[in-house]
Amino acid sequence: MEFGIFTAKEYTRFRKSSVDLKKQLPYQPSVFYKKEWAGWNEFTGIKHKSSNIDLQQIQKIAIEMGIKTREEWRMAVATNRIDAPLYVSKVQGFSNWSQFLNVERYVGFDELLNFTRSLNLKTQTDWRKWCRDNERPSSIPFDLQTHYKSDYISANPNSKISFWRFIFVGFK
């Protein structure tokens, strides 16, 4: 935990990072410490919480703590600054780290609509082709539906118009 090692893959990477570490650390700790071995959780010192938790509650705590990245999340859990699962991405309802940590990397919904409607596209296929052939601004995600579906639903609670038609054309 002192070195931010939480998984077997990270251990292997850490061990390979220097000749001295290769000499000092066993290649396979599970084999080397066979009699004492109780799993990677115990070996790394991480206490994994149940994934049966209130995602919105721990999300609120993480945002209040100013956690902005997956690595910051992992260190906060590992150092017991937050009482939550290390692998929150496996908790039901988790969608992606940017959304979970409320990282504002993408434009707001109204600005998105101004941008997408200026392209004169009609469908999701048109969008994918445009993204492939053009340089998409970093403030506009490729996966529009993942990031803006709730905004679309809020803007059109009773509408029969599809997400993609609304994004590119509106109510026309």
What is the predicted pLDDT for the residue at 23?
82
Q: Which residue has the tokens 């939550």?
A: 84
Query: With 80 as the cut, is the pLDDT of residue 53 above it?
Result: no
- The mean-pLDDT minimum among 17-31, 37-51, 129-143 falls in 37-51
pTM of the entire predicted model: 0.44
Q: What mean pLDDT do residues 50-63 have?
A: 76
Are 121 and 168 a contacting pair, CB within 8 Å? yes
What is the predicted pLDDT for the residue at 1?
44
How far apart are alpha carbons 169 and 117 in whole angstroms?
A: 6
What is the predicted pLDDT for the residue at 83?
81
Are 100 and 61 a contacting pair, CB within 8 Å? no
What is the predicted pLDDT for the residue at 102?
74
How far apart are alpha carbons 110 and 56 in whole angstroms?
A: 25
Are 29 and 11 a contacting pair, CB within 8 Å? yes
Q: Which residue has the tokens 């993204």?
A: 131
What is the predicted pLDDT for the residue at 58?
84
Query: With 80 as the cut, is the pLDDT of residue 87 above it?
Result: no
Query: With 70 as the cut, is the pLDDT of residue 51 above it?
Result: no
The residue among 144 and 4 whose pLDDT is bigger is: 144
How far apart are alpha carbons 74 and 65 in whole angstroms?
A: 13
Q: What mean pLDDT do residues 97-120 have?
A: 85
Residue 167, H or E segment: helix 163-168
What is the predicted pLDDT for the residue at 111?
92
